[in-house]
Structure 1
Amino acid sequence: MTSLFVSVTPIIILIWMMTKKNGVPSHIALPITALMVGVLQLFYFNTDITLINANIVAGILSAITPISIVAGAILLNRMTYLSGAEDVIRRWLEGISRNQVSQLMIIGWAFAFMLEGASGFGTPAAIAAPILVGLGFNPLKVAMLALVMNSVPVSFGAVGTPTWFGFSNLGLDNATLLETGRITALIHFVAAFIIPPMALRFIVSWGDIRRNYLFVLLSTLSCTVPYFLLAQVNYEFPALVGGAIGLTLSVVFARLNLGLTKKDPVAIRQTAVAGEAALLADNQAFNMAVSNTQDKPSTASASADEKVTGFEIFKAMTPTILLIAILIITRIKQFGIKAMLTDGTEMFSVSLGPLGEFSISQALILKLSHILGTDVTWAYKTLYVPALIPFLLVVLISIPLFKLRGNLVKQMFAETGSRIKMPFIALVGALIMVKLMMTGGENSPIMTTGQAFSDLMGTSWQYVAAYLGALGAFFSGSATVSNLTFGAIQQTIAINVGLPQTTILALQSVGGAMGNMVCINNIIAVSTILGIANKEGFIIKRTVVPMIMYGIVAAIMSTLV
């Protein structure tokens, strides 16, 4: 019992630090927690200090993988913004339909779905939510819609990072990871039948949803069907490709007015907006203040009423098209490029003394073995991690394509650098904490905690497993960090009680995704973008309802897979 109390104390303190009033930011809370776990390992679990230090080194180096992906995603986002491509896409999406439900589904669901698959890390809210506010929707309601909508694709967001990197510490082979992804996609697929309508209800009435439900269903399925099918063979681009297909089909359905009521929504919106004029005015003032600080090209300031040509749309979407194409070519093994990018054949090696053995493979895989003389190892797949390819590659191609001036290119890289500082510190803290929690074999804090949960819940654990994943996302702000933090606990429980490991890990992944709805970091981020102040509690009280429903769907599905 004492070991259990000691093992869970750092996690409890972490949750308290990040959820209390005036909570501690993740870039401070996670390193503090890592330090606590290190002290406990040294003085309570009597772990060898060399092994502790080796895991600290491995944790710091391991943060290079997710932070390089984050940097690539942000860099692409800034390029899209500064080139004016984002504004072209916004004006194009605004002009597709005047029906409220179709606008919310195209922009808040399908477009955001694709953005999550491409880059994740808050990008959907940063781009899609302001477009909806620009169409006249209430910022507070848009924030809640964006949080709830951005759940289904998250397990495969940022080119599958929460799945393939989130579970990277568990020693899973590719077949097990793929099966976990399949179950995850199935649960999300079923949950998607209720999530968009619940999100839409924040803005429009049930009557409007009912009258336009055929379009809602078609738009939903246009994303989730390819998403589910792709997850059967790959865990990196189901959300990206599913979102791209879904966005294309949703636009076609809206153009054809398929499943949409013919009732003119303009009068309805004028009535709804009348009582929100002050809030919208404040938001417009906020957006004006933000836009004045950006060195944005004049092409991006065009009026939303200006017709967007097909060539402009194609050019603006070229980075996304390139991103998808490169990912498909480099991830499908039949093309032969994947094997080249993951070739581990050693090309060069050198001893770094006590630090370990450093080697570089023919595919530029960096590897540090026997860190500090232990069995701890770290590796970074330079060409396969989606940082240089495709993110940086697409950005470099896009610079001449959009004829970006030198000062804009410099600003693009400078903004990216400034934005990754705090996430890098948070990820270093999270990964060191996870490494240390897993140190000690059968007596490690992770194994002790997992054993306690399995003894308490037994096989009934599958009914609440998703909520542990949601808790991880709630306090960490990331489905990836949630999987890193609680994946080992979930795996231990599954083994101890005899539940399928892939099912429980899938529930963890689904939980990390649905936790985005109530994640404090995400709420603060989208509120800041939309100019909303002091509404975090209000938002959580409303988004927690669809999150609970999501968990119920996950629990039911876990008994059927």
Structure 2
Amino acid sequence: MSTFQQLVAPVWGSLALSAVCAALPLLVLFVLLGVFRVKAAKAALTSLLLSIVLAVTIWQMPLGQTLSAAAAGAFYGLFPILWILVNALWVYKLTVATPWFDALGRTIRSISNDLRILSILIAFCFGALLESLAGFGAPVAITAAMLMAAGMKPFKSAIVSLLANTAPVAFGAMAAPIIALHGVTGLPLHDLSSMAGRQTPFIALLVPLLLVFIVDGRRGLKQTWPVALVAGAVFGITQFVTSNYFAVELTDVVAAVATVAAVLLMLRIWQPREIIGMSGEAEKTEEQLIAAGRQSVERRHGAGGSRVPASASVTEAVSAAATSSVGTAVSDAKRPEPRHVWMAVAPYLIIMAIFSIAQIPVIKDWLSTVGSVSFPWPGLDVVDADGNHIAAQKFKFDHLKATGTLLLISGLITMALYRVPAAQGLRIYGETVKQLRWTIITVTAVLALSFVMNLSGQTTSLGLALASAGGFFAILSPVIGWLGVALTGSDTSSNSLFGQLQVTAAEQTGLPPVLMAAANSSAGVMGKMLSLQNLAVASAAVGLEGSEGTLFRKLLGWSLGLLAVMTLLVLLQSTPVLGWMIP
């Protein structure tokens, strides 16, 4: 097998024309998805075929190596990416198949009758917990339905759930987007996770404040900003600490659990001045009800004396006042017994325990020694224009310490704890694979497309052309990530498509490659709320099919605003002002 050397400007020696040709597979993908609304799997396969044709005919990559590159990408899509997604979703579906998932929902709903508080607990905290495992629209569908059950109007439930599904996405599905970014760029996983963990917390700090504003406007922001600020700060700080110093795979799990605990503790010592329930109007707090009861007693005393003891009259009045507000209050959810609460959160605690054990140095070293195999991908021998071998040709197969394997072990322990029969667990696993069948095709096709573009030199040509923007690329980089997620609906897919492009452009402009690669993921999450897939899921979940366009218009401003914040942060991190934040 002869060595293939990449060509930088194969189209008549013009880098501009070569970049246009290199962009064709991506343009076709976006047009098929955004204009013609073709299914993601078909659009990805079409773009992959076009990329293969361009690699062979224009970039002159041998057909055998081109097909081998596509196979390498598809394999990486299956392992570790889809190995993570399938097992994560399986663990989630195991909980749904038992009464414990309902117990978890009742526990959350029993904490408060205030829809602003519930928007933080359900959409932000519980949604992040679901994103850490399920992802791919499941958090939006479930939290929107739960908010409706709590009394929020359907359209507002959809908006709140979509907006909340931003902060956790970069580390969603057990950090699948960051792992995919590591796979296509070759940059150290820890550096990428650390960098993303120094960007996303700023968005996490803002999201709860935006949620309470959407639910109740300025009054909501004025009355509930303390708990919103605590939720955002705890989530962001925990994201930073976990992604930088613990395990990137557990970032969202730990952040969500810590935030729920912080909110619960705060609600013990602080409550909003008013309760906002189903009608969106202020309801009386317990203190206000008692005061109203005392006034009623005093009026009755003045009108002719007390016919019952004062204490009983107060209780009666409070009861009557509370009863009169039932029409506008959220229906009470009885909090499960402590044992039921522990059983409901058990799968997440098991996952945290398994991943923590895997991080113990002795066990980590053993897993790396016994359960890790490195090998060059067969049929590939590619060097760049300078004669250096491309890193993407070498694979590391971590079959024992892989995130998906640890999730599989967690699922088996969950089955034993929940006493799920082996036959039922196997059936649920089969249903999970069937549910993800189109996702499996899409992810493998997108990763195959990414590897063909990267190894043939198409990404290099496109990246070098974008590098002509110079320092302006620090502003352009987050926008690329945002567009990628908005059109593909997946931060993992966007990172696979544009990760290497970001690195190439960064190297040519003198910008830090880790910063630009992480920016693709961190900024991309703001496009998640605008993706057709997520909009369709939210519309269906609240029974408003066909309202995707209205949701898009309502969310566009919020998405662009958060993107502007992230772009400013990335720009400052590319300068000495915040350059110290880069690992």
For normalisation by structure 2, the TM-score amounts to: 0.81
Match in the other structure for 1:341: 367
Match in the other structure for 1:95: 110
Distance of aligned partners of 1:411 and 1:468 in 2 relative to their CA distance in 1, 3 Å threshold: same
3-state SS, counterpart of residue 412 of structure 1: helix
Letter in 2 for 1:522: N
Letter in 2 for 1:20: V
> Are residue 437 (structure 1) and residue 459 (structure 2) matched?
no
> Are residue 484 (structure 1) and residue 510 (structure 2) matched?
no
Structure 2 Cα separation of the partners of residues 28 and 249 of structure 1 = 44
> Are residue 420 (structure 1) and residue 436 (structure 2) matched?
yes
Distance of aligned partners of 1:304 and 1:72 in 2 relative to their CA distance in 1, 3 Å threshold: farther
> Are residue 29 (structure 1) and residue 43 (structure 2) matched?
yes
Instruction: Tell me which of 230, 240, 247 is aligned to 1:228.
Output: 240
Instruction: Tell me which of 139, 142, 146 is aligned to 2:161.
Output: 146
> Are residue 542 (structure 1) and residue 554 (structure 2) matched?
yes
> Are residue 467 (structure 1) and residue 474 (structure 2) matched?
no
> Are residue 107 (structure 1) and residue 122 (structure 2) matched?
yes
Matches within 5 A, 1:106-505: 106-173=121-188, 177-234=189-246, 235-254=248-267, 256-258=268-270, 260-266=271-277, 268-269=279-280, 305-330=333-358, 332=359, 334-343=360-369, 362-363=370-371, 365=372, 369-372=376-379, 374=381, 376-389=393-406, 391-405=407-421, 408-440=424-456, 444-455=457-468, 457-505=469-517
3-state SS, counterpart of residue 236 of structure 1: helix
Deviation at 1:407, TM superposition (A): 6.4
Deviation at 1:373, TM superposition (A): 6.1
Contact 1:109–1:149 (CA under 8 A) maintained in structure 2: yes
Structure 1 Cα separation of the partners of residues 113 and 30 of structure 2 = 43
Structure 2 Cα separation of the partners of residues 213 and 63 of structure 1 = 42
Deviation at 1:269, TM superposition (A): 3.3
Match in the other structure for 1:526: 538
Contact 1:106–1:251 (CA under 8 A) maintained in structure 2: no
Structure 1 Cα separation of the partners of residues 278 and 55 of structure 2 = 64
Structure 1 Cα separation of the partners of residues 211 and 31 of structure 2 = 29
Distance of aligned partners of 1:373 and 1:6 in 2 relative to their CA distance in 1, 3 Å threshold: closer
Listed as ranges, the gaps of 5+ residues in structure 1 are: 273-302, 344-361
3-state SS, counterpart of residue 397 of structure 2: strand
Structure 1 Cα separation of the partners of residues 462 and 66 of structure 2 = 19
Match in the other structure for 2:307: none
CA offsets per residue over residues 188-212 of structure 1, 9 Å max, x none?
A: 2222333222233332222122111
Structure 2 Cα separation of the partners of residues 510 and 257 of structure 1 = 34
Deviation at 1:105, TM superposition (A): 0.7
For normalisation by structure 1, the TM-score amounts to: 0.84
Identity among equivalent positions (%) equals: 20
Distance of aligned partners of 1:117 and 1:78 in 2 relative to their CA distance in 1, 3 Å threshold: closer
Structure 2 Cα separation of the partners of residues 267 and 134 of structure 1 = 10
Contact 2:182–2:192 (CA under 8 A) maintained in structure 1: no
Letter in 2 for 1:125: V
Deviation at 1:247, TM superposition (A): 1.2
Structure 1 Cα separation of the partners of residues 413 and 377 of structure 2 = 39
Letter in 2 for 1:542: K
Larger radius of gyration between Structure 1 and Structure 2: 2
Query: How much is the aligned-residue C-alpha RMSD, in angstroms?
Result: 2.2
CA offsets per residue over residues 465-522 of structure 1, 9 Å max, x none?
A: 1111011111211111111100111111111111111221221111222221212112
Contact 1:223–1:247 (CA under 8 A) maintained in structure 2: no
Distance of aligned partners of 1:53 and 1:407 in 2 relative to their CA distance in 1, 3 Å threshold: closer
Letter in 2 for 1:124: P
Structure 1 Cα separation of the partners of residues 335 and 278 of structure 2 = 23
Deviation at 1:270, TM superposition (A): 6.9
Match in the other structure for 1:19: 34
Match in the other structure for 1:51: 65
Listed as ranges, the gaps of 5+ residues in structure 2 are: 1-15, 284-330, 383-392, 573-577
Contact 1:187–1:553 (CA under 8 A) maintained in structure 2: no
Contact 1:371–1:377 (CA under 8 A) maintained in structure 2: no
Structure 2 Cα separation of the partners of residues 318 and 517 of structure 1 = 30
Structure 2 Cα separation of the partners of residues 52 and 214 of structure 1 = 56
Deviation at 1:377, TM superposition (A): 4.2
Deviation at 1:426, TM superposition (A): 0.3
CA offsets per residue over residues 270-308 of structure 1, 9 Å max, x none?
A: 799xxxxxxxxxxxxxxxxxxxxxxxxxxxxxx974441
Deviation at 1:553, TM superposition (A): 1.4
Structure 2 Cα separation of the partners of residues 307 and 547 of structure 1 = 36
3-state SS, counterpart of residue 220 of structure 1: helix
Deviation at 1:533, TM superposition (A): 0.5
3-state SS, counterpart of residue 51 of structure 1: helix
CA offsets per residue over residues 123-166 of structure 1, 9 Å max, x none?
A: 32243222111111122222221121111122122222211222
Letter in 2 for 1:181: S
Q: Across the two proteins, how many residue pairs are aligned to each other?
A: 499
Distance of aligned partners of 1:75 and 1:164 in 2 relative to their CA distance in 1, 3 Å threshold: same
Contact 1:329–1:337 (CA under 8 A) maintained in structure 2: yes
